Chain A
Amino acid sequence: MTTQIQLQEGIKISSAIAETAQRKWQDYFSFNTDHKVIGIQYLVTSFIFYLIGGLLGTAVRTELATPDPDFVSPEVYNSLFTVHATIMIFLWIIPAGAGLANYLVPLMIGAKDMAFPRLNALAFWLIPISGILLLSSFFVGAPQAGWTSYPPLSLISGKAGEEIWILSILLLGTSSILGAVNFFVTIIKMRTPGMGFNQMPLFCWAMLATSALILTATPVLAAALIMLSFDLLTGTNFFNPAGGGDPIVYQHMFWFYSHPAVYIMILPFFGVLSEVIPVHARKPIFGYKALAYSSLAIAFLGLIVWAHHMFTSGTPGWLRMFFMIATMIIAVPTGIKIFSWLATMWGGKIQLTSAMQFAMGFISIFVLGGITGIMLASVPFDIHVHDTYFVVAHLHYVLFGGAVFGIYAALYHWFPKMTGRMLNEPWGSVHFILSYVGFNLTFLPMHILGIQGMPRRVAMYDPKFADLNMLCTIGSYLLAVSTLPFIVNVIWSWMYGSKAGDNPWKGLTLEWMTTSPPPIENFKTTPVLATGPYDYGSNKSDNQSDTTPHSKP
Chain B
Amino acid sequence: MTELAVDALTSRAGGRTIVDRVSFDVAAGEVVAVIGPNGAGKTTLLEGIVGLRPTGGRVRVRGRLLESFADRAASFAFAPDDATLPQEALVATLVDHAGAHRPRRAAITGALHRDLRLDPLLSRSAGVLSRGERKRVALYVALAADRPVVVLDEPFGAFDPLQLREVRDVVRSIALAGAAVLVSIHQLADAERIADRALLLSDGHRIAFGTIDAIRAQAGGSAGSLEDAFIALLSPSGERDAS
A-B interaction: no
